Amino acid sequence: MIEVSKKCIGCAKCVPVCPFAAINMIDKKAVMNEACTLCGACVQVCPVQAITITREEASAKDFSGYKGVWVYVELTETGDKAQKKIKPVTFELLSAGRRLADELGEDLCAVLLTDKNHNYEKDLGAYGADKVYMVEHDELFEYNTDVFSTVIVGLVNRHKPSSMLYGATIQGRDLAPRVASTLYVGLTADCTALAIKDGLLLQSRPAFGGNIMADILAPNSRPQMSTVRPNVMKMAEPVLGRTALVVREPAKLDKSLRRVKVLERKIAHDAGAVKIENANIVVSGGRGMKTKEKFKQLEELSKLLGGVVGASRAAVDLGFKEKTHQVGQSGTTVSPKLYLSFGISGAVQHIVGMKASDVIIAVNKDPNAPIFNVAKYGIVGDAHEIVPKLIEALKKK
């Protein structure tokens, strides 16, 4: 419930801060309409504390039986059909989960669904897992929403973890909402930070294309679930020789569970090439590159540096580069060691996708371009002059 008390002085300060246009001034008093999401932005700016949001009491339910931080292990195909490997995002989640589990004094558990275990517990242990809940079954030979969500829901009901993390990947974003919906528990998408606050999982995420940040809690249900994009959490150094305890879990899985069937799977020829999300160096271009031909120079530069080419949304929309190279909110999040940008002004949508890079060097004509707010080094200059000269200089070396 949101209420505006008699204290309201009609100053209208709350009107422009509402992210949802949910406040109207009626008879010099703030009135909320149906668009209100009870986010509380107005409460914070009201100079006379006239706005109050009353929430349900932080649950009388007893969650003391829910223990353990779980991480969903995502497997990905390799050239070798028989053996899949663990996706790097899993190790990033284990690194983040380790911290949370230590703070809570709980176990960090990896959840592994596979048709055949290939000593995965070694790597999972090295990155911090205490236990691996493993279901080994022929029906788990490839990801399927119905099969995998059924198994996970069963495991959660049996072992009652306090939280569970998934990679915000194509698979994780398909699986997690299905599981959360079945269990009637909270799920927060694309978290950029996770912490423990009063025993609860505090999940921070950007909204409105990164224009605002929101802290989310799910106090009244367990497990508290989050998805986290690849490259957002730092991967810890693996502790070699630290292995996780494997707990084998039975599962009865019938073929009829599988309601969606894969008829064909095609992986592009360049799938073996370094993907932008894994690149150490990203050379990116934006609208300022002007033409597709000029954008191509970035390919050459990137090759010389041993990097991968990235593009802003504007450059992709203009057809300079394929969508698979788009960096940002609606593209890929990258965190390379070096991010070199040319002719990108730095809309927030782009910035949220690259600001975690270790070193950012930005080249732009406009000294006030927002990209300079996140860059470590800013070069005010014309990309069309600098790029060819830089290529020339690197070739001479």
The string of DSSP letters for 32-86 reads E-TT-----HHHHH-TT--EEE----S-----TT---EEEEPPEEE-SSTT-EEE
Tokens of 107: 């176990």
Site for another protein in 335-354 (CB under 8 A): 337-338, 340, 347-349, 352
Do the strands 193-197 and 163-167 form a parallel or antiparallel pair, or are they unpaired?
unpaired
Interaction between residue 220 and another protein (CB under 8 A): yes
Site for another protein in 306-325 (CB under 8 A): 306
Interaction between residue 26 and another protein (CB under 8 A): no
Please select the residue that binds another protein; options are 206, 236, 238, 251, rule is CB under 8 A: 206
Site for another protein in 79-108 (CB under 8 A): none
Site for another protein in 263-302 (CB under 8 A): 263-268, 270-271, 275, 281
Please select the residue that binds another protein; options are 3, 102, 103, 215, rule is CB under 8 A: 215
Interaction between residue 10 and another protein (CB under 8 A): no
Site for another protein in 238-257 (CB under 8 A): none
Interaction between residue 39 and another protein (CB under 8 A): yes
Q: Smallest Cα–Cα separation from 20: which of 218, 210, 207, 215?
A: 207
Q: Smallest Cα–Cα separation from 18: which of 289, 34, 84, 6?
A: 34
Burial class (CB in 10 A: 0-12, 13-18, 19+), 188: buried
Cα→Cα distances 281→62, 306, 358, Å: 49, 7, 10
Pattern 41-70, another protein, x by CB under 8 A: x--xx---------xx--------------
Interaction between residue 207 and another protein (CB under 8 A): yes
Interaction between residue 154 and another protein (CB under 8 A): no
For the four alpha carbons of 136, 139, 144 and 148, in that order, the dihedral sign comes to negative
Looking at beta carbons only, is 125 or 219 nearer to another protein? 219
How many residues belong to the site for another protein (CB under 8 A)?
109
Looking at beta carbons only, is 136 or 195 nearer to another protein? 195
Least distance in angstroms from the C-beta of 243 to another protein: 28
Give the integer Cα–Cα distance in Å for 164 and 176: 9
Task: Please provide residue 48's backbone torsions phi and psi, each rounded to the nearest 5 degrees.
Answer: -115, 15
Please select the residue that binds another protein; options are 63, 182, 253, 299, rule is CB under 8 A: 182
Angle between helical axes of 292-305 and 383-396 (0-180°, round to 10): 30
Site for another protein in 351-380 (CB under 8 A): 352, 355, 359-363, 367, 372-380
Please select the residue that binds another protein; options are 97, 125, 167, 219, rule is CB under 8 A: 219
